[in-house]
Amino acid sequence: MSTPQTPAARTGGPAGLMLALATVGFAVNFWAWALLSPLATGFQAVLDLTPFQQALLVAVPVVVGSVGRIPVGALTDRYGGRVMFPLISLITIVPVLYLGLFGHDALTSLLVGGFFLGIGGTAFAVGVPFVNAWFPPERRGLAVGVFGVGMGGTAISALTTVRLVDAGSTATPFLLTAVVLAAYAAVAWIVLRDAPGRPVPTAPLARRLGTVLRLRITWQAAALYAVAFGGYVAFSVYLPAYLKTAYGLTQADAANRMAGFVLLAVIMRPVGGWLSDRFAAGRVLAVALGIVVLGAIVQAFTPGLAPVGTIAFLATAAALGAGSGATFALVAQVAPASQVGAVTGVVGAAGGLGGFVPPLVMGAIYGRFQSYALGLALLGVVALAALLLDILSVERRPTVPA
């Protein structure tokens, strides 16, 4: 029987299959999590929403999906991904059907549905400890980075949601997503298996969370991920509204450009993990955060989209993706094996909350000044602070826990 001391036995076919299924589950749940964002400008027109209300609409699922990662990550440490992946997928079906069939006619019902839709965003905290247990330390950066490709579920939503509404009705993308979630939950329950010999904590949930909150790596990674993944989430949910307002693009064109941003960030996430397996994760993060600072400064001046604005956005997307992958390579390499899920929950929550605040700030600033410059300048300042934290505090050569 395999044990945690023989990780090489877990790097063959079964590990690859488990990684693939976990990545699909992450993508499907993120697809559901991001359903409201591509429709936000449409809801703004129909329901006469203010810029702040529109930002709130897309931000609510983000904050719920973020905070929910803390208990979900700890529960995954205890019960494993084989239980938690199907469970999260099935629960997410409820708000998806509610929004598609009943809850899209008023702001209040959209916010209620969006609140529970946030449960889909907690799938991230299931996948990281699940994948981490299947791979040896020297391959975890790449493996967790590949799993992170599942964040491309937001791109699926961006590319399909508006088209499905135009081809059918508002309910169409929600009904389709519900069917896919149900199918994945069934497959996951039948096929998924937790890694042999994975460490299972026995301490109560509250005690485990308290221990995790005292780890230095938890707060270092949380701060860095709040900027890296938080920036990605903020752009992915708010970029359509920004492009439509700042550059006068159509809703479909803005959604397509957002999908391009997301896809590049998704591609770069495993690259960031791969680089972190070969170099210090802190160095990868330093380069990524430096690029984000430059991109935010350039975009604060609202340059033309061709070519300066496009280059700034794509460079920022690549940096945020690589930085996100590097952050969780750091977690996989440094966090105690039995606490990876709990650490992931806290760090993932910080990343999601990092994505919750900027859309609200951008909406409020634009409503007050009719300009996004100050909001983008603030992003540059925050990224610079994260860069300094990385340079001054993050371990360059982390030791791998047994």
Q: Is residue 12's pLDDT more than 70?
A: no
Q: Output 286 or 361, whichever has higher pLDDT.
A: 286
Buried b (16+ CB within 10 A) or exposed e, 361-387: bbbebbeeeeebeebbbbbbebbbebb
What is the predicted pLDDT for the residue at 271? 92
If one compares 395 and 190, the residue with the highest pLDDT of the two is 190
- Packing angle of the helix pair 310-334, 216-247 (nearest 10 deg): 160
Q: What is the model's pLDDT at position 144?
A: 85
User: Mean pLDDT, the chain, as a whole number?
Assistant: 84
For the cut 90, the answer to whether the pLDDT of residue 176 exceeds it is: yes
Q: How confident is the model over 290-316, as pLDDT tens digits?
A: 999 999 899 888 888 888 988 998 999
Assign 68 to helix, strand or coil.
Answer: coil
* Predicted local confidence at residue 7, as pLDDT: 44
177 pLDDT more than 90: yes
pLDDT in tens, 31-84: 999 898 888 878 888 888 887 788 788 878 878 888 888 889 888 988 999 999
For residue 203, the model assigns a pLDDT of: 77
Give the CA radius of gyration of the chain: 20
The confidence band for 137, taking pLDDT boundaries of 50, 70 and 90, is: confident
pLDDT tens per residue across span 146-166: 998 888 788 788 888 888 998
Among 10-19, 205-214, 320-329, whose mean pLDDT is lowest?
Answer: 10-19
Sign of CA dihedral 232, 236, 240, 245: negative
pLDDT for the residue 401: 45
Task: State pLDDT tens for residues 84-107.
Answer: 999 999 999 999 999 989 888 888
Q: Is the pLDDT of residue 19 over 90?
A: yes
Residue 68 near residue 84 (C-beta atoms within 8 A): no
Higher-confidence residue of 319 and 43: namely 319
pLDDT at 266 over 90: no
The closest alpha carbon to 283, from 148, 383, 387, belongs to: 387
What is the model's pLDDT at position 395? 55
Domains of the chain, each with CATH number or no CATH: 7-393 (1.20.1250.20)
CA pair distance 89, 94, nearest whole angstrom: 10
Residue-wise pLDDT for 345-397, tens only, equals: 888 888 877 777 777 777 788 778 877 788 888 888 999 999 998 888 775 44
> What percent of the chain stands above pLDDT 90?
28
| Confidence check: pLDDT of 278 > 90 | no
Percent of the chain with pLDDT over 70: 95
Does residue 402 carry a pLDDT above 60?
Answer: no
Angle, helix 123-134 to helix 340-369, in steps of 10 degrees: 140
6 has pLDDT over 60:
no
Give 322-333 pLDDT, tens digit per residue: 998 899 888 877
Q: Is the pLDDT of residue 223 over 70?
A: yes
The pair phi, psi for residue 247, each rounded to 5°, is: -120, 0
Query: Which of the residue ranges 25-34, 43-52, 180-189 would you say has the lowest mean pLDDT?
Result: 43-52
Burial degree of 205 (CB within 10 A; 0-12, 13-18, 19+): middle
| Dist. CA 327–CA 289, nearest whole Å | 11
Give the pLDDT of residue 302: 83
End-to-end CA distance of the chain: 18
Considering only residues 26 and 366, tell me which one the structure prediction assigns the higher pLDDT.
Answer: 26
